[in-house]
Each structure stands twice: as C-alpha cells, then as structure tokens.
Amino acid sequence: MPPSHKSLSLGKISLLYVLLSGLWVQFSEQVLYYFIRDHEMFLRFSVLKGWFWVLATTLFFYLLMRRSGQAILAGEQLHQQFDAIKRQEEFYQRIYDSVAEGVILQHISGMFLNSNSAACALLGTSWSDMQKNEFLTQVTPWMDDQGAPFSWKTHAYNVLIKAQDSEEIRYTLKRFDPEQRWLYLNSVLLRNAQGEPSWVVTTLSDISMQKYSELQETVLYGITQRILAEHPLNVIFQYLCDELVHSVGYPVAAVVLKKSEGSVAIVAQAGVREEYVRTLKIRWDDSPEGQGAVGEAIRSGKPQVQNLINNSQFKPWWAIYEALNLQSIATFPLWAHGQCLGAIALYTHLPDYFNSVRIERLQSLAEQITMAFLSHEDRSQLQIQRTALSAAADAIVLADRTGNLLWTNPAFARLTGYAFEEVEGQNIRFLQSGYQDSSFYKIMWDTVLAGETWRGELINRHAKGTLYREEMTLTPVQADGAEITHFIAIKQDVSERFATQKALRDSEERYEEMFENMSNAVAVFQFSEDEKIFHCKAFNRAAEQMENLPRSQVLGQPLDRFFSNHESLGILKIFFHVFRTGEASHFPATYYHNAYVSGWREGFIYKLSTREVVAIYEDVTRRKQDEETLWLEKERAQITLASIGDGVITTDVQAKITYLNPVAERLTGWTNRQAEGLPLLSVFNIRNENTGQAVINPVTQCLREKSIVTLANHTALTHRDGHTISIEDSAAPICDRAGDLIGAVLVFHDVSDKRALVLQLSHQAHHDALTGLPNRILYKDRAHQAIVQAHRHQTYVAVLFLDLDRFKLVNDTLGHTMGDQLLRATGERIVACLREGDTVSRQGGDEFLVLLPEMRSEAQAAQVAQKIMDVFKAPFHLHEQEIYITVSLGIAIFPTDGEDIETLIKYADTAMYHAKDEGRNHYQFYSLAFNQALSVRLGLQNEMRRALAYEEFVLYYQPQYRISDGQMCGMEALVRWQHPERGFLLPGEFISIAEENGLILPLGEWVLRSACLQNKRWQEMGYPPVRVAVNLSARQFRQANLVSQIAQILTETGLDPQWLELEITESISMENSSFTLAILQELKGMGIRLSLDDFGTGFSSLSYLSRFSLDTLKIDRSFVSALTTRSDERKHGNEIVTTIIKLAHNLGLRVIAEGVETEAQLDFLRSQGCAEVQGYLLARPVSAEDLVFYLIEISLNLKKKLRFSG
C-alpha cells in the first residue's frame, strides 16, 4: 500500500474513532438515564457501558492491527496513555480526598458521581449509602434558609435553574437533632465540551461554631438592650431562656433563684411543659433534691457540668430526664454583691456536650445576667427616691444657674397647670404675673446667689390665665468648689389659706348682717361662773320686736328678764343641759307670758364653741291655732280611712310615711306607729310578679311628676313576713292651699284572687289540660320567636312531629284512663330528653310537637329524635302492667324546609306519616319527595270516590292448598284497582288511604258482595264449592250494622255461609274484647267461618284466643319469610312458627300460612303439622276468569304433585 494511501487510511480511521467516541460520550448516558432511573442501577450500567466501549474499541483495533503492523505500536501507545490517565486520576482523587471541606459531584439529574470523605463526615453518612437511591430522593434532616426540608435531588435541579442568573449558588443548611448544626453549601454548575450543563460540584463547610458565636452575641445584645430599657427581671430571664432554646438550640433552659430554707424558684424556663415543671423538686441544701447540678452550683458558686443518665447524683429526676431525652447539664451561678443568688441551667440531648469553648461563652451570659441584677437594684433605689419626690404634695422644681427648668414633679403641674413636657428648658420667669416689681425679684436672686435660702410669697399666673398665690423656698445647689450650679424651688399653693382668711373676715360681716336680719328671734347668753346665771350678750332685731323690749334693756340682763316663768316652763334646765353637754336641744311650743307680751314660743338652744349659749326661737301662736283646727280635720279623716276597704298610705314630699290605715297595716304587715317616718320603700316594697324585678314605686313617680300614677297590673306587694300579695290601684299628689306639693297618698287593694284566676285562665288557654304541656297556641308563639332568633344568629330550628304507634289499640283495650296516664308519661319522657329551652306540645290525641331552637346543624335534630326513640324502648309501668309502645317521628328544619311555622308543622307531619308508612318506630326527615308522595296520595283519595262509581276495582283470587294432599281447598279475595292513568294498583297503594278517609266502608262492602256473588256463580256453573276468604278492616268491624249487612249480602247473593270465611286482624280482636266477642259469636252462629289474620303481630292477644269462636289461625308472612333468612333469624323464626302451630292445635284451630315462596319453607311447615298454605310458590293471585282453571283441577281431582311430592 503506498504511503499516501496508508496515511489517508489511518487518518480516516482516527477521524472515525473520534466521531464514534464523541457520539458515545455525548448520548450514551442520556439514553441510559432515559431507560434506567434507579441510582444504583444507573451507576452499575454506566460502568458496564464503559467496559462495553473498551471491549468494542479493543476488538476494532485488534482487527485493524491484524492488517497493519503499526497497529501493535498504536496499542502500546494506547496502553501507555491509559496508564498515564489512571495515574493522573489517582493523583486527583488523593487531592480530592485530602481537601478539608466536603466536595460532592452530582450529575444534573441529581445522581451522585463522587464525594470525598469530608463530605460524608459532614453529612453523617458513607459513600456507599450516598450511592443508594433512597439517599438521593428522601428528605434529609437538614433545612434550608427558608426552613424547608432539604433534598439533594431537588438541590441539583435548583442549581440548574438558578445557574442562569449566577455562576455560584450558596445555601446555609440547619439541623436540630441531635444537636444544632449549620453547613454552608457553595454549588457550581459545570458544562461539557459542547457548553451544555452536565455536572454540579458542591462544597460543604461546617459553620456551626461561627453560628453559635453569632447567636450568643445576639442573645448578649438582647439582654443588654433590655437592661438599658429597664425591663423587669422576669422578662429578661424569660427572654434568655427562649433564645437559648428556640435560637441557639438547647432543648431546655431555665433560670433558678435561691429562696430561704434551701428551696429555689424557677423564675423562667423554656422547653419543658408545665406539668413537668410542677413536679420538679429542686433545692440547694444538703437534701437529696439539693445534690443536683443546680444545687451544687448555688452552694459552691462555681459552674457545674455533668452527664445525667446513670448518674446517681441526679436520681430524683431520672424519670423526667428520660422522658425528655436529656443527656447532660451545665449550670452557671449568678453572683451579685458577693453572694450567689441563683443559677442558669442548660440541658442537651448529647452526653459530654459542654466543652471549654461553650462553657466560656455561657459563663459570659451568666455575667450579663448579674449585670441585670445590679441594674435592677440601682433602678429600685432611684425609683424610691423618684417616687418620694413625685408623691410630694408640694411642687418641686430643679433649675440650672440661669433659671431654666430641668425637672419638676407632678405637683408642679397641679399648681401651675403646666406639664413638665410643655415647659422643659424654659426660664422659670414665665410664671411671673407682674404683681411683683423688679426690685422684689432682685432681692430674691441676690439672696440665693449669695448662697442663702430665700423664702417668701409670690403671686404667679396659672396656665389658664388665672392668678394664684404661692409660698416658695428657693435653695441654691453648690458644687464641690462652692460654685452654684443649680437651684431647687419648693412651692406650696397658699391661695386657699389666703382666701380662707379673707372669707373669715367676710363671714364675720355677713354674720352680723344675718344676725340682725333673721326672721327668727336670736338671743345669745353667756354663763357667769360666779353668779351661776346666764346673762344676755346679744339680741337681734326680731327678738326686740317679739319680746316688745328694746335691746338696751336686755343686754347684760339675766335670763329671767324676759323668761319670767322660765322655771315652770323648764327653760333654765334646758339651758344648763346644753351648756354642760354641748348637745343642741329643742324646746317645744310653750305658752309663756311676762309683763310685756304673751303667746306660744318654740325653738332650739345651741352651745357655741365660745362657750356661749344661743337661743333661736319663733312665735308659733298662729301655728298652734292652725294645728288645733287641723287635728280636728285629721281625726275626721282617720275615722273615714279606717272604715274603707282599700289600703291607704300617705307620705310627705320626701316619700316618708306619715300614715297607714288599718287595711294598709294588714296588707303590709307594718303598724302605723312602726311605719311612721320610714321611707316608703321600706314598707311598701313592690316588684314585678312575673320577673321578680323591682318596679318604680308609684309614689316616687307621683312626687316627681306631680300627677296621678296607676300601678301596673303585674305588681306584687311584699308583706313584712315575706309573702307576696297581688295589688293594683294608684297614687295621687297632695298639695297645700297654695298648690305646693306637700306629699302623696297611695290607695291600693288586694287582687290576688282575681289575678290568680286570670293566670289560671291564661295557663289553661296556652296549655294542654291533660298533660300540662304547652298547647298549639303557645307552641306557635315560641316557634315564631325561635325563627326570629334563628334569622338573627344564622342557626337552625327543628320541628319534630311525634305520633304514638298503635296508641288507639292501647286506649281501647286498657281503657281511656290508662290511655290518659300513658299520654302524661309520654310527655314526661319526651321532656326529659330535651334541653331547658326546648318545647314539647301536645296537639291532641296521641300527637306531640317538639321545638328545638338554636340548632347548629340538622344532625342535632336527628340525635334528639334518636334519643326520644331510645327512651321508648323501656316499658311503661301503669297499674302494675307493662306497656310497650313506639313512636314515629317526622322532622322539618328551618330554613331548609320552610320559613314559617305552619309550613314546618305540615312538613313534619308529612315526614311522620312517611315514617309510619316505612314501618313505624323510626324518624324521617322531610323531603320534597314526601310532598310529592302526599300529593299523589291526595290525588288517589279524590280519584278513589270516582273509582267506586265507575267500577274500576276488580277482585283477584289466590288459591289456598292443603299440604296433606296438595288439593286446592280455598281462596282469598284480593282487591285490585285498574286505574285509568296509573295502571294496575295493588292494595298497599290505596287501602291505607281508604281507611283514613272512610272509603274503606263502601269498598269493603263491595269486596264482600262481589266475592260472595262470584263464588255463588262458580257453584251455579257446576264447579265444586270452595270457601272464599274476605278481609274485614278495622273500620268495617266497628260498624254497628256489620252483622246485618253481611246477612243481607249472603241473602242477596244466595251464597251458603259455610263457603264464606271472614278474616279479621289480631289488633281488631283486641280493641274491645266484649264487643268483638259478641260480633264473632253472631257471625259464627250464621255458619260463617272465622280466621284470625296476621297472627302474632298484635298486642297481648294470646289470652283472648280461647274466648273467640275462631276456626283458623293465619300465620303472618313475616314469620314465614324468616324461615329462609340468616341462621340466627331463621332459628328465631322457626321457634315462633312452631309455637303458633302448636298453639292452634291445642285450641283445635286450623292453621294456614301465607307468603310461602320456597320449597324450604313448605318443607318446614309440613314437618310442623301446618294444615294449609298459600303463596307464590303454589299460585299467584289471578282474575276470576283464570281461577276457573284451578276449579277445573278440583273437578278433575288434580293435585300439585310436583310441589307436594315427598
């Protein structure tokens, strides 16, 4: 091969190798990651992929080297290159592992490609664990700067996204468990040769100690700030504990202060629940509870560092330490004034946690807390001094040498009207009023600048502009060099004292004027110790006129100068009594005379502080004459008041009692003498008899308005012995001749009997007479109020309509007296289920309404309904009889179902009837479907009358068979309605409606007549005679002419009575046993067969069976269907059916079972000796035309061989 050609071939080969290698490197990993997402599997296949490429290229070069001698040389060169790369890779790996910081290499998909040992140590894992997929995808215990959990897979994705804005991505990670640590992450995105992002390189640094230092400095700064802000010690202590736990990361921190008698107080803590704190018993004495690190730190005054678990020194607290997973403790004493006051206690989850660096830093915290103690004591002393100055009654002012205000106490503001904040820094001259000239102030300032204290009075101006007089003491404050630096002024308001002195002078002048101008006579006497007599010292103008003596003839004269008959009047004794005791004394109206004047005098005698005695009196001669006249009028009025039937009380203008007539004495319990002078409210205590609240007294209102006031109808008077009396009447004002109000008269009478009658009538109008429960009127009133409240508070109101199931059976069987007792007991049980604000109402018969206001949800109504139904599970014990009865309930909700009470009651009634239709003994919420069903029901009720007229009813017949030979032995007539619009209707859809509206009577008569007529026709057609069974409803059975009606039908149709069987329900037989017995005996006497239908579903019927002339017991289909249900129910059903059959046999009755639908049921009935059966297994109800085929079978003596075989 020519060299040129050879060189060209080698070049092409090299170019091809480079091209293939580039494609392999570029796309192989992406393809592999597309198929393999598992991290470990990806690494394994990545290695296999590399080996595959080595093998492929080796084979390729081997083939080439076989064709070229130079291939051997190329292989050697390739091997040398491979060894060089390997040595270089090992060199870089050693450098990679020797780096102190952690280094991690990730693919941009998140997968770890490499990690040095430092990174594994910082993350607390190994390289093998990092290669697992779980380590990549799971959330690590580290949190990022935003507090979100950190994930390495998410980290790679975030670096890829954020690298568009910054080449380096930085994170700070934080971890709390088992200790608080911080990592600093710096991530860089690396690109491949094509510039595409391929790898993420992350370096990790442990910055925990740096963070601890920052946090501790922050805590120290926070403590210092709170000390400077003068926060209380407990606030500073709690701040320290909160920061140590929530920021620094200690699990528990506490500050403990030493108390007397060896105990301690935990004044602040964080990290421990209160129940643990209450159980902690820590002391600092020599007791076991004082041997812990806290007690030891307080006793020794030195820091204590201990491990907790298995350390007997901490045995009293092991349970708490284990519960909180606390492993070690460090305590640091708190010193102040040379004594240990307490300690700081820190707990961690790690043993041997507190190294020398941490201890040194925590000791600085304890020293900072000591500063808080000292600052608190200094503040306390300053506060005492400041409080004393602030509490001073005198105004205190501190000013500098120039007179500018530096500080004032609160009294300054009260004195001047200026708050300190308004005048701080101003010169004190702003208070000057101008009433003192400049020379006055010059003398004052010269005095204090000479170092002396100045005292004097000033007239200054208040902030409001008014003048006030003050007494001021101005004292200079001198520094060490005797230089005056400040002034202290103490000011006292003397305006009041000055005004008092002035007022005293004015008062003396006014006294003189008043003394002379008084309308009453005033005489002042002075006692002479030597003469033992009283001499007149002063005598006013009114006394001169009253005594007809000039003042000159009286002054200095003894008492008897104008009281000539003072001894007989006892006036001298009164004077001596007043003089000796100092007690004022009244001398009553007295008739006296002397040489100058005569008449009635009355007044008072007082002793003055000057030891003088003053007599103030007046001439009451005219008044005495008026009183005599008034006494005669009053005597006549009292005789009149004593003879009337109403109570009468009179008062003065202060509403104090002046008179009670005998009726008022009886009604109040107070005598006139006892009540006279007392406030009316003490005797005439009236209240609202409905609420018990006090009402406005009519006399008080009468005196205020000066008009007649009538008492409210609901007023009750409280007798003195405590019982109340219903009263009514009015109060009127009493005026004197001038029309001025002088009192009031209150006239009232007892209306207790009348009001009791009104209340009784009102109660009867709103309550049920039998049960005492609210009636429909009161129920609706409360319901309206409840709906208004529900509108306001956005709540629900529930209306429950209750009806007793089969109550009429109990009432008719046990009598109306027992029924009434049952209704009363029912009301009591319902009331016991309800809240205090709920209402139970009897609507009549056995219907009750329940009102549930303020319901938070509809589910609450269901709970109450279930509670009511539960209480009816227990029997009622009435006259030594146990009575079981159930209830059906309908529920309507405001506002869901309606917004007025009439609608709610109607819908609740509808829901109740639906509950009854569903089988009774449960509750049902109203729904629109019920209303629609009710509409259908009402429609059927109206259409039923037309159906009778248009002969839309038809009879179907269901054959009955003897079990013994399979022969048809009878049939039951069943009515159907061929409705022109609704189609073929079964009895269950219309019979109950017919019973409610009374149409059951004509319908029942039609059924009986049609069945008899049809049976007669079959016989006339030559078919064998077969009995036909016809059901009698309860309302039919209660007809007075039932027997005659049946006899007439038999006569008209010509049917022999022996081929008619009448079925009555068990409940009918129990309604009125004597009546029932008479009817059945008459029917039996006619030759009609009698059957008891639905036996076993009635009420206490077994005791009556032997008395009735029955031929057949019919087992109810519910018992028959139970024969094929679950095993437990089947066993119960088997026992019931067996018992009924045996009972019938013992009474000589034929037994027929209805509703037989399975072979198993038939086999069981045959095994128990049941005579006859009917049901879908044998034959369905058929029309009269189709029944002919069954009659033909009888004629041909055909039997149900398939059904009755075996």
Q: What is the DSSP string of 337-384?
A: TTEEEEEEEEEESSTT---HHHHHHHHHHHHHHHHHHHHHHHHHHHHH
Between strands 1027-1032 and 1060-1065, the pairing is parallel
Nearest to 203 by CA among 108, 276, 109, 114: 114
1143: left (phi over 0), alpha (psi -120 to 50) or beta: alpha
Q: Which residues of the chain have pLDDT under 50?
A: 1-8, 71, 1099-1101, 1201-1206
Please give the CATH topology (third level) of the domain spanning 938-1201.
Answer: TIM Barrel (3.20.20)
Judge: domain 392-499, CATH 3.40.50.2300. Answer: no
CA nearest to 1076, candidates 1047, 1104, 1116: 1104
Tell me the fold of 767-926. Answer: Alpha-Beta Plaits (3.30.70)
Cis preceding-peptide flag for 178 (omega within 30 of 0)? yes
Tokens of 496: 């009041």
pLDDT one-digit tens code per residue, 241-297: 888 888 777 888 888 888 878 888 888 888 888 777 777 788 888 887 777 888 888
Q: Which CATH architecture has domain 644-757?
A: 2-Layer Sandwich (3.30)
Measured between alpha carbons, how far is 997 from 1150 in angstroms, rounded to an integer? 35
Q: What is the pLDDT of residue 528?
A: 86
- Here the tokens at position 84 are 């060089």
3-state secondary structure 953-981: EEEEEEEEEECCCCCEEEEEEEEEEEECC
Nearest to 831 by CA among 782, 883, 886, 868: 868
CB 354 within 8 A of CB 281: no
- The dihedral sign for the CA sequence 1072, 1075, 1081, 1087: negative
**Domain residue ranges of the chain, discontinuous segments joined by +:** 1-98, 101-206, 210-365, 392-499, 518-619, 644-757, 767-926, 938-1201
Q: Which residues contact 998 (CB under 8 A, 6 or more apart)?
A: 1035
Choose among 277, 211, 268: nearest CA to 240: 268
Cα distance between the two ends of the chain: 111
Q: List, for residues 10-27, the tens digit of each pLDDT value.
A: 666 777 777 777 677 666
Collapse the DSSP code of 1142 into the 3-class scheme (helix H, G, I; strand E, B; otherwise coil) and give the result. Answer: helix
The Cα-based distances of 365 to 343, 374, 378, 979 in angstroms read 11, 15, 20, 98
Domain pair 101-206 / 767-926, same fold = no
User: What are the tokens at 85?
Assistant: 């790369």
Beta bridge partners of 114: 105
Q: Which fold has domain 101-206?
A: Beta-Lactamase (3.30.450)
Give the whole-angstrom CA distance, residue 389 versus residue 410.
9
Assign a CATH topology to domain 210-365: Beta-Lactamase (3.30.450)
**Fold category of 518-619 in CATH:** Beta-Lactamase (3.30.450)
**Class of residue 410 by CB neighbours under 10 A (exposed 0-12, middle 13-18, buried 19+):** middle
